[in-house]
Amino acid sequence: MNTMFEHKDAHKCTWYQSTLGRRSMIDFVIVSSDLRPCVLDTRVKRGAELSTDHHLVVSWFRWQGKSLDRPGKPKRVVRVSWERLGEAPVREAFNSHLRRSFSSIPVEAGDIEPEWTMFNASIVEAAAVSCGHRVLGASRGGNPRTPWWTPVVREAVRLKKESFRDMLSRGTPEANLGYRRARRAAAAAVPEAKQRVWEEFGEAMEWPVMETELEDDGVSSPISLGEVTVVVKQLHSGKAPGIDEIPPEMLKALGVEGLSLLTRLFNIAWGSGSVPKEWQTGVVVPLFKKGDQRVCANYRGITLLSLPGKVYSKVLERRVRPIVEPQIEEEQCGFRPGRGTTDQLFTLAGVLEGAWEYNLPVHMCFVDLEKAYDRVPRDVLWEVLREYGVRGSLLRAIQSLYSQSESCVRILGSKSDLFQVGVGLRQGCALSPILFVIYMDRISRRSRGMEGLQVDDLKSASLLFADDVVLMASSAVDLQRSLDQFAAECEAAGMRISTSKSEAMVLSRTPVDCLLQVGNVSLPQAKEFKYLGVLFTSEGMMGREIDRRVGAAGAVLHALHRTVVTKRELSRKAKLSIYRSIFVPTLTYGHERWVTTERMRSRVQAAEMGFLRRVAGVSLRDRVRSSAIREGLGVEPLLLCVERSQLRWFGHLMRMPPGRLPREVFLARPTGRRPRGRPRTRWRDYISSLAWERLGIPQSELADVAGERDVWGSLLKLLPPRPDFG
């Protein structure tokens, strides 16, 4: 089709040899004879930079068929460039504009809606004036998913394009040389910008731990400036704003005047028992999980709430927790300070280890609740709060966040109409975790009977991590009775057990059937179950879990191989940040309870070195020792980190107060007779031998030394690597 239309020779020649001035037409667009009448034009587009001596050939067609349905395009979104608030001059201009705006606000406090409108308008206007705007979505103003597109890169690319057009128009050696220089400058600017972005990403993956001590223990007193300041400082930058379009950067940039006005706004809400409507409005954004993108069930919705409203709810949460925390049972470890998944995993593994040693069968039911967060009846929730001692102004303030709860759905920049939400907890709200924990704690209390598993003086019937529940008993009959009681309390509280995801499992040396029912539905019995991300088996073996960890780490390495690990534009520092923040946690999750053998150490070390060798750019054929690679990269042996972490967890275990479940399980001694044969290595024996081998501390002194936090920590810092680590 190139020869059918009249054009200049420059718009017909597809190949050009700059040094000798040769050009030719060697690239063609070929169509069938029946489509030839549909071709409107064909020509060369010299302006397209392809980094080759060939030019782009473009054809225009007239489409005669039926137009296809096209999905909606994202709308152009113009928003404030709040990222610039990190710059000191911009932040100072922002606060200066706020001071002028706040000077016109009346001293007398008014109703909550007018006060919120003034605050919202003032802060958004100040940010717009001081930061400017940027265009997102279907625009030519830059893609928000390209964070390395900085002003320096933009200027380098612009100069390269100008030099390219100048070379095409002039065709002189000087213009050709200028283009090559501009192209080299742009090629150098892009990797440097990408490198800075990756380093910032690695630093962001290691957020510091914030202090959360409550300055004012009075739950009924007005909200203080100190309370608000502490919560605002804990906000993480880069989080999406709610319907009011106020991101955390704006709140973190507030000076004393702005924080004082925000505190005044909170006290109006506290005293009146009402909050602005925008604080109760959530923006639901569907995120694709997996499967067919046309099926709505394959999406998971996240709710974006107003950031000032989230700060207010966090202030309330810091007042609620001291009241309810002492009343929550020890079996619940979800969303509680000083507790985590490690506690529950260690407790369950310890129970199973002792039961296997003394040939005691353990019948378990792993219970899954259907959409537990979204099913909490709010009238029952208020009743539970009163039972746990949350009353008066504090209860009224919590209820105000739910009084007129609404949501809308945002897809491709467009928002749906608002709809009422009258049930369930607010997703993304700082109060929701503690409210859900005490709600589940009440269900657990009311469902507890005489059933359970007796280990020495300790009797355990259940373990809870938020809505992840494990029921335990010594027989199938007792477990069925416990499950019936739990299911009845769940029904009374508006919850429902998912029979398709709940399973039974029995730890026993001989096959034992455990036929459980929820209503008229039988639950399947499994030989293994993944609880809190760790695989537990009916034989109590951890080898399968180690294999899963190594496989998951291999999948991470495969996914990052070309984009991160072997990418030359990234520095080793950036690659090692990804290694520490993504690869290592995937490989070593749940390692505190490992009883490592030589085979396990070999597998973990092989997975570790598979990543580090690629970062260092060497292979096994180069015959470089693993220790030399680690030394060159400045990385500690991963097995050394695992052993140090295991010993650190043991010290934490010894310093736990009496009554903490992990400590009680560790100290418990099951009764019964051990069967014949060599027993498995217990974790307590493994950790004792590890402390003796690596630190020289005998078992008789181990508990006392580990109980001294400073002494134990200093010993772990001096822990040397094993000589056989490679």
Does one domain contain both 389 and 436?
Answer: yes
The one-letter code for the residue type at 211 is E
- Among 507, 534, 561, the domain-final residue is 534
* Poorest-pLDDT segment among 7-11, 93-97, 251-255: 7-11
What pTM, to 2 d.p., does this model score?
Answer: 0.78
Residue 29 pLDDT class (50, 70, 90 cuts): confident
Does one domain contain both 508 and 557?
Answer: no
> How far is 9 from 85, CA to CA, in rounded Å?
53
284 belongs to a structural domain:
no
Does one domain contain both 630 and 663?
Answer: yes
Q: Which of 214, 266, 219, 282 shows the shortest CA–CA distance to 258? A: 266
224 belongs to a structural domain:
no
401 belongs to a structural domain:
yes
Residues 6+ apart with CB under 8 A from 621: none
270 belongs to a structural domain:
no
Report pLDDT for 220.
72
Does one domain contain both 574 and 504?
Answer: no
Residues 6+ apart with CB under 8 A from 15: 23, 24, 25, 26, 27, 53, 54, 55
> How far is 286 from 266, CA to CA, in rounded Å?
31
Does one domain contain both 588 and 701?
Answer: yes
Each residue of 316-341: b (16+ CB within 10 Å) or e? Answer: bbbbbbebbeeebebbbbbbbeebeb
Does one domain contain both 499 and 634?
Answer: no
Contact 329, 442 (CB under 8 A): no
Average pLDDT value over all residues in the chain: 86
Q: Which of 94, 539, 607 shows the shortest CA–CA distance to 357? A: 539
Percent of the chain with pLDDT over 90: 51
Does one domain contain both 334 and 365?
Answer: yes
- Among 510, 534, 558, the domain-final residue is 534
Does one domain contain both 475 and 331?
Answer: yes
234 belongs to a structural domain:
no
**Domain encompassing residue 513:** 326-534
Mean pLDDT of 262-282: 93
Which tokens sit at 462? 């259940």
306 belongs to a structural domain:
no
164 belongs to a structural domain:
yes
Per-residue pLDDT reduced to its tens digit, 192-248: 777 776 666 565 555 444 433 333 445 678 999 999 999 999 999 888 899 998 999
- Among 204, 220, 244, the domain-final residue is 204
Report pLDDT for 169.
74
Report pLDDT for 139.
43
Residue 77 pLDDT exceeds 70: no
Report pLDDT for 205.
52
Per-residue pLDDT reduced to its tens digit, 547-563: 999 999 999 999 998 88
Q: Which residue has the higher pLDDT, 238 or 439?
A: 439
Report pLDDT for 142.
45
Does one domain contain both 333 and 398?
Answer: yes
Our count of domains for the chain comes to 4
Does one domain contain both 458 and 584?
Answer: no
Contact 409, 284 (CB under 8 A): yes
Report pLDDT for 66.
54
Mean pLDDT of 293-308: 87
46 belongs to a structural domain:
yes
Does one domain contain both 518 and 409?
Answer: yes
Report pLDDT for 70.
47
Does one domain contain both 553 and 694?
Answer: yes
Residue 545 pLDDT exceeds 80: yes
Residue 74 pLDDT class (50, 70, 90 cuts): low
Contact 628, 616 (CB under 8 A): no
Strand, coil or helix: 455:
strand
Mean pLDDT of 505-524: 92
